[in-house]
Structure 1
Amino acid sequence: MLHVHERAVVRRDDRPPAGAAQGIADRVVTFEDVCLDIMLARSPDTTAALAATLDPLLARPELLTTLREYLRHGMSARATARALYVHPNTVPYRLRTIEQLLGRSLSDVTGLTDVLIALHHLDMDSAPAPAGPS
């Protein structure tokens, strides 16, 4: 089994260690746990292009939250509506708006993959940076 320690991962100084977005930066983890983090950190141009995918949603936090909950609930609009405490018709409306703003269909595997990777990158960027030595 391959183990990757967070200090062994090449990263920019301002980026949290691999696994930070999943809350696993404080222990030894398997490569499989952090391989996407490593790929994103090593391909900044590709990462920036994918991250830009979500730009239209950043000014609409309710849409970003809806997208996250929709994915978290197995792409079930009904379960998402229950989780968000909104009318069941609100979620499909928001999802259509999200698809229009992103220019991607969430039912298309390639478009969905781009969105998932962009969300992961957003989570990595918003994860707290490790505290330096005191």
Structure 2
Amino acid sequence: TNTLNITNNNYYSVEVENITAQVQFSKTVIGKARLNNITIIGPLDMKQIDYTVPTVIAEEMSYMFDFCTLISIKVHNIVLMMQVTVTTTYFGHSEQISQERYQYVDCGRNTTYQLGQSEYLNVLQPQQ
């Protein structure tokens, strides 16, 4: 589960139309998610949006499964890339904001996960 903290720094409401997220290992997409018609953020307000991207390590990545279940090592760190795009609308105008981040994940079977990775987005900054 990830959390987006979206801030509206304007004096008018904006609609968070959709959020698309994708998780990659190396160049292989292992998960995608899309949320539609999410919420409206009032003027000078902030909202938190939780979302989950289901991921699958499939047949073509059997080497990854072997690594993640290897008993001889205790920590099974892999690096995943997560891309998130938020589409907002206001006054009939659409705007997209994207973020990309890399995250270390322990894919081992005896892993305790810390829930909730937070990302902060300031949407629709008034132009200077």
TM-score, normalised with respect to structure 1 = 0.26
Which of structures 1 and 2 has the bigger CA Rg? 2
- Relative contact order higher in (CA < 8 Å, ≥ 6 apart): 2
TM-score (norm 2): 0.27
Higher helix share: 1
Greater strand percent: which structure?
Answer: 2
